[in-house]
Copies of this chain bind each other. A is one copy, B any other.
Amino acid sequence: MKKVGIIGLGLIGGSFAISIREQFNVVEIIGLDLSQSHREQALQKGLIDEVFDLDDLSVLRSCDLVFLAVPVTVICELLNKVLDVADYNTLVLDAGSTKKEICKLVENHPKRSQFLACHPIAGTEFSGPTAAIHDLFARKIQIICEFDKTRADLAQKALDLFEGMQMKIRYMDPVMHDKHLAYVSHLSHISSFMLGKTVMQLEPDEKNIFDMAGSGFESTVRLAKSSPEMWAPIFIQNKENVIDSLERYIQNLEQFKENLIQENEAFIRTEMKDINSIKSILNRIPTNNKSQ
């Protein structure tokens, strides 16, 4: 690996740059970001060696690897253009949190086999190049979709890279990917954002929120710090699954409320006890992203 191009110099792109440097210390990394402060911070932090412009994508031709870590709508805009300029040995990866639309969009591109559709399950609620950390991907899941559509030698290059990052691979169909992520991730973000909104509406006095946040609010609302630029497009691209999960969530809240109105303590206790079983599932999760 001699030259790498990274599109999007935020938390994911920046952390990817750090991991690449750790594995290949002579690599040259060029980076693209629409935000000037992101470009400057990425250069200053040594994440990248040089910046390049959106109207100069042709510089990516000489890259061994191009990594797209931008909002999913921007991946959709850029992916085919990146493949257009890619050299025969250029591997193109993305990190989009939706996969169906991205895979569909690229399916007829003559260089489809140079693309590997990825989704690293890694992140914190912080964003931007300053949030980049060196072990963001270690021991995390990398979901790969449509693996067999990628040329074998390039796919192997990607797997070697992820192994170097200590990632665990899971293969998934893009349609199923979007369904699972809506349930487990996207709904969590919406529930957290709406909790933040509700509490700010009901508690206009910020001091009360601050003083009492340790009583549960703070961990539950953590995701409400997430970037709207990244998340609004995800919700919209995965609209159908997200709406399904939101409807089920609202239904469960309504049922809980009704039982509370009836003071049906037996129901409430049994319900909570059943849900407590989530402990046994969660206790096996790596804790890197909890230390934020």
B-contacting residues of A (Cβ < 8 Å)?
97, 121-123, 140-141, 170, 180-181, 183-203, 206, 208-226, 228-229, 231-233, 235-236, 239, 242-250, 252-254, 256-257, 260-261, 263, 265, 268-269, 271-279, 281-282, 284-286, 289-291
Contact = CB atoms under 8 A, between A and B. Distances in A.
Interface SS of A by simple majority: helix
B281 A257 contact: no
B218 A220 contact: no
A256 B194 contact: yes
Contacts of A243: 257, 260-261
Nearest to A183: B202
A9 to B, nearest CB: 20
A224 B275 contact: yes
A189 B256 CA distance: 12
Nearest to A179: B202
B269 A232 contact: yes
A197 B193 CA distance: 18
23 contacts: A121-B212, A122-B214, A123-B214, A181-B215, A183-B203, A184-B216, A185-B216, A188-B195, A191-B191, A193-B256, A194-B252, A197-B274, A210-B281, A210-B282, A219-B223, A220-B222, A225-B282, A228-B272, A229-B269, A232-B265, A236-B263, A243-B257, A250-B257
A131 to B, nearest CB: 13
**In the complex this chain forms, how many copies of it are found?**
2
Given A250-B253, A272-B193, A286 B198 contact: no
Nearest to A231: B272
A247 B257 contact: yes
Contacts of A254: 250
A272 B232 contact: yes
Contact of A208 (B184, B219, B250): B184
A219 B222 CA distance: 7
Contacts of A219: 219-220, 222-223, 289-290
A200 B271 CA distance: 12
B208 A180 contact: yes
Contacts of A229: 269
A108 to B, nearest CB: 25
Contact of A249 (B217, B226, B232, B253): B253
